[in-house]
Amino acid sequence: MNPEPMEQTNRKNGPPAEQVERMFDSISKHYDLLNHLLSLGTDRLWRRKAVMLMGKHCTPGTILDVATGTGDLAIEALRLGPEKITGIDLSSRMLEKGRRKISKLGYSGKIELLKSDAMATGFPDASFDAAMSAFGVRNFENTLAGLTEMCRVIRPGGMIIVLEFSRPSAFPLKQIYGLYFRQILPRIGRKVSGDPSAYTYLPESVMSFPDNEKFLGLMRDAGFTGVRQKRLTGGIASIYSGFKPLNNHTIKPE
């Protein structure tokens, strides 16, 4: 048997959690601004599309937003009318910023942000109806471990959506994207955030991340079924979705 696929899926893909925590703590002040600036505002639209995709399949009462950062996906998910959204993240400063934003918007009764590691959340099995993550999974020290934990904490039949950067393959978007990600984005990021490494890390992490079929394979390995990919903006980002099997039966997406 060729051991390669197992090694591929089990390998640690991201930097150590402490390093990720430090990095996001350091850029938290400018994170929202840079997000909207560097994506030319598309990040908001992508999050909305991800939430709407979930809304097509289910109306979750409780949602876990993994790697919530400053809570933008959690805020967007309020559209689904849940009783409660719990956002978790490693970075205390991102969470502080998120809490302030959520309080200003008057959503503190609906969204709670907690410091926790995606790979070991501490929640009991089947605690949530659904789980989601935007631009977080790529940063996990071990992607498969994080996805497996998301599967564990949602109820059987529950849904997951993951919004992540992917790499476009068609000319000329592939070339423009490569140039923007490697040359332009790190410079703007460095200038605005003052952090020399964070926005070099961003393109590196995107380029080395297992996207498309590889990511769908990881979702299956983590225990999800009915996994799908919806490409956004020519494949610059993708929404991956799937379901936790219900009583060991495969659920077919609508």
135 in contact with ligand SAM (CB under 6 A): yes
Measured CA to CA, the distance from residue 254 to residue 252 in angstroms comes to 6
- CB count, 10 Å around CB of 203? 20
Please say which residue, 116 or 251, places its beta carbon nearer to ligand SAM: 116
Per-residue x/- mask for ligand SAM, residues 35 to 74, rule CB under 6 A?
A: x-------------------------------xxx--xx-
C-alpha distance across the termini of the chain, in Å: 36
Q: How far is the CB of 3 from ligand SAM (least distance, A)?
A: 26
Peptide bond into 172 cis (omega under 30): yes
In terms of CB distance, is 30 or 245 closer to ligand SAM? Answer: 30
DSSP for 30-56, please give it. Answer: HHHHHHHHHTTTHHHHHHHHHHHHHHH
Q: Is 24 in the site for ligand SAM (CB under 6 A)?
A: yes
Indicate the SS3 state at residue 129: strand
Give the DSSP letter string of 184-248. IHHHHHHHHH--TTHHHHHHHHHHHS--HHHHHHHHHHTT-EEEEEEEEGGGTEEEEEEEPPBTT
Which residue among 27, 54, 77, 90 contacts ligand SAM (CB under 6 A)? Answer: 90
Kindly tell me which of 46 and 251 has the beta carbon lying closer to ligand SAM.
46
Amino acid at 218: L
DSSP code of 80?
Answer: G
Residue 238 is a binding residue for ligand SAM (CB under 6 A): no
Q: Which is nearer to ligand SAM, 32 or 129 (CB)?
A: 32
Count of residues interacting with ligand SAM (CB under 6 A): 22
Q: Which stretch binds ligand SAM (CB under 6 A): 5-13, 103-111, 136-144, 186-194?
A: 136-144
Binding mask of the shown chain, residues 137 to 156, with x at each position contacting ligand SAM by CB under 6 A: --xx----------------
d(CA 205, CA 73): 20
Q: In this chain, which of 9, 20, 161, 237 binds ligand SAM, going by CB under 6 A?
A: 20
- Choice between 13 and 91, CB closer to ligand SAM: 91
User: DSSP string of 91-116?
Assistant: -HHHHHHHHHHHHHTT-TTTEEEEE-
Sequence-distant (6+) residues with CB within 8 A of 155 are: 126, 127, 128, 129, 244
Stretch that binds ligand SAM, among 78-86, 111-119, 208-216, 217-225 (CB under 6 A): 111-119
Distance of closest approach, residue 80 Cβ to ligand SAM, in angstroms: 16
Which residues of the chain form contacts with ligand SAM (CB under 6 A)?
17, 20, 24, 35, 67-69, 72-73, 88-91, 94, 117-119, 134-136, 139-140
